[in-house]
Structure 1
């Protein structure tokens, strides 16, 4: 059975999915710090993401191409899709670099992507589109896509579905008074 939707139907479906994803809880990521490799068509390099606010990260990229090197810093806003393991993100930032033939260059970056935290592992996969406007370069604009694999260095606190359901309010827990040295089974 094949379903065919008109353009109006597709736009309505996309709008409903976007509204549903924005209505979900604010947990858009399952990690605080992740680092790994970024692979694009004309370059590759390192990527490091650091969560700075509830749904916001800073990402640093160190990229190497056939004739250039560059460093990029991006601020990204994450939005959950059907839970915290799958999310999409938007961001912006800037970059500086050096081309072997033309020298130093810089530019402004935008970013749109999707990422997935693989269940029961410490790996995050992402695919993004990062258009750039270039200054002091032969290319005035670039439109690269890239795939990243990151390893989670610092995990987010567990915010699972059943957290707090059976253990009560953690802020009201009473602390046990500290006692003297711990006694063993045969210490009298």
Structure 2
């Protein structure tokens, strides 16, 4: 069953190489062997997460904290991760126990859904436990509670340069329209002086002068 699930993850990852929605916080359930429980994963760096696991079994219960470094395989949707941490728990026969953990797994973000699937191998070294060494495997199904912030597409290589230049106007944005200027000579049309008013001829005055 576990090998089949890993094969399905690999096939789906090969078929989907586009970028996925990033996540900051995801929580869900974990199944592994005779144990089951809850898992919470929190992004702390660009490619690093902290995972907290609480498991309950037939004879024990435990809590584990793991630091994980993620590496993309085919885009950001499908990746593998590795890391380590520690655990503390209580065993029915011997009481409190502690230990160290390592983890190696694969992770797939379902396209279009806030679902995160993962499968891993988690070897552990126990102290004050009947099994000093344990090699556990598990499958986790998480719901993306808080997605990562989406990155704005940057056309201009210098971040906000294009937006600022577009607001500033031509030549990087829309050319600002300026009011038309009056053409003046000699670079434009020569302005002609206004015509003088026509003088009217008074015929009465002319006849009076001839009579005198």
Counterpart CA distance in 2 for 1:117 and 1:85 is 5
Deviation at 1:159, TM superposition (A): 4.2
C-alpha spacing 1:112/1:58, structure 2 compared with 1 (3 Å): same
Q: Give deviations 1:40-62, integer Å, cap 9, x for gaps.
A: 01201000000001111000001
Residues 1:83 and 2:75 aligned together: yes
Answer 1 or 2: higher relative contact order, Cα 8 Å, separation at least 6: 1
Task: Give ranges in structure 1 of 5+ residues lacking alignment.
Answer: 1-26, 177-188
Deviation at 1:157, TM superposition (A): 2.1
Counterpart CA distance in 2 for 1:100 and 1:171 is 64
- Are the counterparts in 1 of residues 114 and 144 from structure 2 also a CA contact under 8 Å? yes
For the residue of structure 2 that corresponds to 1:131, the secondary structure is: strand
Task: Give ranges in structure 2 of 5+ residues lacking alignment.
Answer: 1-18, 168-212
- Are the counterparts in 1 of residues 89 and 98 from structure 2 also a CA contact under 8 Å? yes
Alignment match of 2:27 (pick from 32, 35, 59): 35
Deviation at 1:164, TM superposition (A): 2.0
Q: Find the counterpart in structure 1 of residue 109 from structure 2.
A: 117
Q: Find the counterpart in structure 1 of residue 145 from structure 2.
A: 153
Alignment match of 1:164 (pick from 139, 142, 154): 154
TM-score (norm 2): 0.64
Q: Give deviations 1:64-113, integer Å, cap 9, x for gaps.
A: 01111100000000001111110100010000000111111010000000
When Rg is computed on C-alpha atoms for both structures, the one with the higher figure is 2
TM-score (norm 1): 0.72
Give the paired residue count.
147
C-alpha spacing 1:100/1:125, structure 2 compared with 1 (3 Å): same
Q: Give deviations 1:119-160, integer Å, cap 9, x for gaps.
A: 000000000000000100000100010000000011112248
C-alpha spacing 1:140/1:173, structure 2 compared with 1 (3 Å): same
Q: Find the counterpart in structure 1 of residue 188 from structure 2.
A: none
Counterpart CA distance in 1 for 2:162 and 2:88 is 50
For the residue of structure 1 that corresponds to 2:74, the secondary structure is: coil
